[in-house]
Amino acid sequence: MIGLMMLLLFPLHASAETLMVYTAVEAEDLKRYAAAFNKDHPDIKIRWVRDSTGIVTAKLLAEKNNPRADVIWGLAATSLMLLKSEGMLQAYSPKGVDKLDPKFRDAANPPSWTGMDAWIAAVCVNTVEAQRHNLPTPTSWMDLTDPVYKGHLVMPNPNSSGTGFLDVSSWLQLYGPLGGWQYMDNLHENIAWYTHSGSKPCKQAARGETPIGISFAFRGAKSKAAGAPLDIVLPREGVGWDMEATAIVKGTKN
């Protein structure tokens, strides 16, 4: 199924070529996707370049006039919207795109990008560590500004992490420009450290390295399923969401 999904996202005429694919998909998931694709399509060689969303986006923008990537696979749709506005994407209709909800693809016909999955922000709370530090379980974003959490929160750096950028965007939408920045100033007082990736705060919470990590729900669900003592909190004010999507880089020879 994974191999089929990936085949639909790559142009079929590239089967005899080596493709350079940029991605922000989680490393452990990428291994699974790549193994399934390689098994089904051994004639297609892929060179993967993986990093966090902000780093991949910045790399693509820096290479705009001399693109090195052939395909972008698993990057935030908000990043692909930016790349489209820069004229960097080749429109392409993968097989089955007509069956997608229009919200999950570029509105143009043919589309410049196509969604492949979605994620939402969440707060991962290690119940053992929270109890050890006498921390109440937060139920809202605003709760996280309470001084009781000072030094017990970790969040992703929005300069490198798509999840961190998603958080900033959603707080500005929830609280408005002035209220949003004030909220982040207050939250910053409680942050112990910032991470490069969006999944790491939840991974660190799962390992007991921090009581609370601002991350995304899927990462929390995976860690909890693996036995970590986590509560996954969806703050009551609402949460931001984004898609991972795929696109072809304009000008690729493959």
Please give the structure tokens belonging to residue 13.
Answer: 């005429």
Q: According to the model, what pLDDT value does residue 200 have? A: 97
- pLDDT tier at 8, thresholds 50, 70, 90: very low
Same domain, 103 and 175: no
Please give the structure tokens belonging to residue 139.
Answer: 């139920």
Same domain, 173 and 130: yes
pLDDT over 80 at 47, yes or no: yes
Cβ atoms 202, 213 nearer than 8 A: yes
Q: Which of 247, 220, 250 is nearest to 77 (CA)?
A: 247
Q: What is the DSSP string of 191-221?
A: EEEEESSSSHHHHHHHTTSSSEEEEEHHHHH
d(CA 172, CA 73): 28
- pLDDT tier at 49, thresholds 50, 70, 90: very high
Q: According to the model, what pLDDT value does residue 9 have? A: 53
Phi, psi at residue 202, to the nearest 5°? -75, -40
* pTM score: 0.84
At 109-137, the pLDDT tens digits run 999 999 999 999 999 999 999 999 999 99
Same domain, 107 and 137: no
- Tracing tokens 């996202």 back to the chain, one arrives at 9
- pLDDT tier at 10, thresholds 50, 70, 90: low
Find all residues with CB under 8 Å of 16, minimum gap 6, and list them. Answer: 43
**Residue of higher predicted confidence among 32 and 122:** 122
Report for 9-13, 16-20, 223-227: range of highest mean pLDDT? 223-227
Q: According to the model, what pLDDT value does residue 41 have? A: 81
Same domain, 179 and 189: yes
How many independent structural domains does the chain possess? 2
Same domain, 11 and 73: yes
d(CA 192, CA 178): 24
Chain-wide mean pLDDT for the chain? 92
At 148-201, the pLDDT tens digits run 999 999 999 999 999 999 999 999 999 999 999 999 999 999 999 999 999 999
Find all residues with CB under 8 Å of 116, minimum gap 6, and list them. Answer: 5, 9, 73, 74, 243, 244, 245, 246
Q: What is the CATH number of the domain that holds 41?
A: 3.40.190.10
- For 145, the domain range is 119-241
